[in-house]
A and B are shown apart, each in its own frame.
Chain A
Amino acid sequence: MQETLENQSPETSVRGSRPRSSRPSPPVVFGQSGIAMAFYKSGALADIVIILGVLGIFYGIIQAGREWTGILRPTVLIDLSFRALPRYTLFSLIRGLAAYGISLLFTIIYGYWAAKDRLAEKLLVPILDILQSIPVLGFMPGVVLALVSLFPHSNVGLELAAVFMIFTGQAWNMTFSFYNSLKSVPQYLQEAGSIYRFNWWQRLTQIELPYSAVGLIWNSMMSMAGGWFFLMVTESFQLGNRDFRLPGIGSYMSVAVEKGNVPAMAGAVVAMIIMIVMLDQLLWRPLVVWAQKFRIEDTSQEESMQSWFLDLLRHSHMLRWIGNINAAVGRRFATMTSVLFQRAPRYMTGAASEAPNDTSPATHRRSFLSFVPRLLFILLVGVLAVALVQVVRLLATVRISEWLRLLRSDLLTLARVIVAVVLGTLWALPAGLRIGLSPRLSKIMQPIVQVAASFPAPMLFPAVILVLTKLNVRIGFGSIVLMLLGTQWYILFNVIAGAQAIPSDLKEAAASYHITARQRFWSLYLPAVFPYLVTGWVTATGGAWNASIVAELVTFRGQTLRAQGIGSIISEAAFGAKFGELAAAIFLMALTVVLINRFVWRPLYAIASTRYNISK
């Protein structure tokens, strides 16, 4: 999936270097007074922004710390006034970022281990694949209950549960991306690293991390967007009459819905959008533009991506100063590790021909640290074995008749997932083509679609259910609409990217031979966007399965709406602590996901990457 995601990155040629001064100075535009521009260029503005940013982060941490260590309340107290909204948004943001930090750490450790240890790789990659297929939302009640009982007197348990749930929505695709990058570092770069005796630290920081950066950043963006879904669900989590809601934008929304406070609902939606846009402008876009310097290809592209915030930061003296220190420390550390773990290589053999042979860094490391990965591996196998035994024991308690009921429900949910994806494709494919083929529309619509894709659908569930009940739609069908709400954007998003990537000579050929619109669709547009469409489908089905857990069982104004399906069974089993049933249902759902991956998506991917690969 990673390659296709990378394909979506707008082609750019921006470098990490400072803007060259050779460019003619821009004419002074009305409103850009000389003083303001000088202030901007001197870097003072950038330094002030950085100082304010650091102070803001400190403030956030202090606020969050106070909230975390606060006493656990029986019910959440949410102030529905707009003045309180920024604070709640900040809390949600901190949870998302904390989870992202953990995801990144997990990604680097797990991905590195899987890529470097041949033996562990055979276990770690399938585990990751399974983790990716498991509907983690099913574990939420268990995780919340366990962590709350660990910290009975403070909010720490609840907060940790929220962060953990978001983490499970973020980590897997990032890890896959990093692992794949590590495995695909070009051979000549690896050989250069070997021949010049780079140690593992130098390899990691100077070859492997830079090489992985582009893919990792794109996947981080996707992950962060996916994480909001889990944030909304955990923040507004209630179990029976127990209230586990956390002060945040999700609980604000859920209280607003309970109270029927429409302005507050709208406020929450606006706050969420502002948060998504701010993150994009202040974090992701600068990162993406900066990461252009890690691209491998030499090709220079026509259109370059810009980030005003990065341009601002590049004027900063403070950052340059920190960067220099950082580089010096990095070099020192690399030298230090090479002195510690290996002898400095000699390139002259003549002087000391009786000295023993210089050996590769790899063999040195093996002798020095070989027991650590082995130990970890044994530990891993042990944990897995115990977990497996437990799961099998749980599954053994489920009766055959029960299995049959679960299977029926599973098929019902599968049908809903398929219908949701088909419905999504029916409108997103033509719309995506329309947008992607028109540069003007793309420019307007793409940012909107991006925000829509990042927007957590569960936030809108109450409003949609309100409309559905007014229209007398039963929840069995209504849940399809709820699934569609979150997943259609993935399809749209990918189709737009695919349509933009259609080479203009093909479009021109179609036009010059007067090919009709209908034929153009079937013989050019559809095949050309097919690989992107498959990526969109995979992401969308994954999202739909997860959404089924919250879409098939919804509490709306004190009333529970339930649709027959594996999602509602997982929810109920989790609420009722029926662990045997829960394990069986999750097992069935994960199995379905894995089977579909293997027998539907993988063959489709194979076709997409050979027959419908436009770059070949």
Chain B
Amino acid sequence: MIRTNTLRLLTASALVMSLSACVSVTSAPAGPYKVGAATVTLGHEWSDISAIMFARPAKVRLLSMDGPLLNRLYVTDGLAPGEFMVKPMAKERPTPTYRAGMAPTELVEFVTDSVAALDYQRVETDNLRPAKVGSAEGLRFDLKAKTKEGLDISGAAQVAEVGGKLYVVLYIAPSEHYYAAELPEVETVLGSVKVG
């Protein structure tokens, strides 16, 4: 005898259950994808998993192809001074905050510390270079990190300040297979950021 429906429930956690009533994963089709004042152009369909993310401020959207363990593409609306990419779980556990007047290396630090706040370990940057984001001067850099369990992670990030706000696009995926698999698409997305 085979029953199928209970199994769906078996793998769901209490935490998921409590959220399930009000949220869902949606499609982000190829073409323009708007996050507040920012727009990126997706080369193919992504899954918008923002709704099932914990600790996600409203200005941060999260796209994925295969789920958050296998690829994540964060796109933010302009973060104002005092705002963050990762929501703190408690007052005593603050997360990195964007501040007015940050030097370029501090913007890089803001992103890498945010990645660390997502519980990735040994986050390092490489290949810092200039990037054009619309008419603004942005920064582009690569990341290396590890999950707690020791899975190697690679990443690509781009930041740009426009009108006193910080726009971030961040892509992270396991270095084994997954990072390279979406990198060409991600390069296109990084090059497509428009503000306003």
**A complexed with B:** no
- Residues of B participating in the A interface, judged by any CB pair closer than 8 Å: none
